[in-house]
Copies of this chain bind each other. A is one copy, B any other.
Amino acid sequence: MIEDKTPQRTSIAQLGEFGLIDHLTKHFEIKNPSTLKGIGDDGAVLDFHNKKTVVSTDLLIEGVHFDLAYMPLKHLGYKAVVVNVSDIYAMNAKATQITVSVAVSNRFPLEALEELYEGITLAAKHYEVDVIGGDTTSSQKGLILSITALGEADEENIAYRNGAQQGDLLVVSGDLGAAYMGLQVLEREKQVFEVNPNNQPDLDDYTYLIERQLKPEARKDVAEILKALDVKPTSMIDISDGLSSEVMHLCKQSNVGCNVYEEKLPLDPQFINVCEEFNIDSTTIALNGGEDYELLFTIKMDDFDKIKGNPNFSVIGHMTQESEGIHLVTRANTRIELKARGWNALQEE
């Protein structure tokens, strides 16, 4: 989607591969002291000194992970970085570098790639990561984005998925489900637009939800806040597939069970309103919506006082013996077994 109404269209072939890479990457600045050499050689060279290196990677495919009908390219570039640095933050680490590989079919002019890289550049600045390499090539169909993120942490601060203990508290940052409802709003508007292209959508009541879907932010701040509070999470994961799915990952890898309390789930008022408008159960979406990019983690019970009342965090449950299983405790105080239905399952309903 090119927002400029009279777009210039420069064929990518005019620049050639090396010209294209030079053109797209010339604005990237190196800011992290750990980056010794960025783009321009066979490989980048990094120096993490006595820190540990954290690595994560994601592949994003047009038509599978995003729809350019309502996702502007600049937002896509931004979000692709967010998704990746979120994985680094989910190790309780600091993101420091990314590599960005892009494949596009010939339907994309240079100006479209420039928009994509604008979003990538903006996110790299915001999250203070250096773009240190990548690959640019043609695809047979659509846009393909592959990003690898690197980060650093002191070994004692790294939070794995398998460290939760019975009795630990389950904590989530931010609020849940808004990204999923944002997508529902956008899909409804797309259908309205297809029926009547002159219809001007009024999206004022949905701004927060749409922003959570189109321009999510990763929780760079959580590691910093926890450090300041002197809280070391015992386990941690980011919420990409949905809360239920991620709770089950933590439980499975830590060999514990869990009780999640429905009344404790943090929901934004706009999210609650729109769930009512769509006649969808807000708890179901909060549990299974996905793409929130919040962090889910466990802390020792003794650390409760340190995070109690902190506006960034909600304690939503506690870890139990593995044999007790994984349950949602409803407002009516009944226990329902949690199932990871995730994003795809929801869409198929």
Chain A interface (Cβ < 8 Å from any Cβ of B): 36-37, 40-50, 52-59, 61-65, 87-88, 90-91, 93, 97, 99, 101-103, 132-135, 137-142, 144, 146, 148-151, 155, 158, 160-162, 236-238, 253
A54 contacts B43, CB within 8 Å? yes
The answer to whether residues A140 and B52 also contact, given A42-B161, A158-B45, A160-B41 and a CB cut-off of 8 A, is no
Residues of chain B within 8 A (CB-CB) of A36 are 52, 155
Establish whether residues A138 and B43, one from each chain, have CB atoms under 8 Å apart when the complex forms. Answer: no
Q: Please, which residues of chain B bring their CB within 8 A of the CB of A237?
A: 42
Q: Is the CB of A55 within 8 A of B103?
A: no
- In the complex, the answer to whether B161 meets A57 with C-beta atoms within 8 Å is no
- CB nearest neighbor in B for A249: B18
**Complex contact A46–B42 (CB within 8 A):** no
Chain B nearest CB from A144 CB (Å) reads 6
Chain B residues near A97 (CB-CB < 8 A):
55
- Of all chain B residues, the one with the shortest Cβ separation from A245 is B18
Determine the chain B residues whose CB is within 8 A of the CB of A47 once the complex forms: 52-53, 155
- Is there an interface contact between A101 and B58, defined as CB atoms closer than 8 Å? yes
Contact A146 B42 (CB under 8 A): no
Bound complex: CA A103 to CA B142 (Å): 13
B132 near A55: Cβ-Cβ < 8 Å: yes
Complex A-B: 15 CB contacts under 8 Å: A41-B161, A41-B253, A42-B161, A43-B55, A43-B91, A43-B93, A43-B149, A56-B133, A59-B101, A59-B103, A61-B137, A61-B144, A63-B140, A64-B103, A141-B142
Closest to A253 in B: B40
- What 20 new A-B contacts, CB under 8 Å, besides A47-B52, A59-B146, A64-B103? A41-B91, A42-B237, A42-B238, A43-B88, A47-B155, A57-B101, A57-B134, A57-B146, A58-B101, A58-B135, A59-B101, A59-B135, A59-B137, A59-B144, A61-B103, A61-B137, A64-B137, A64-B140, A65-B137, A103-B144
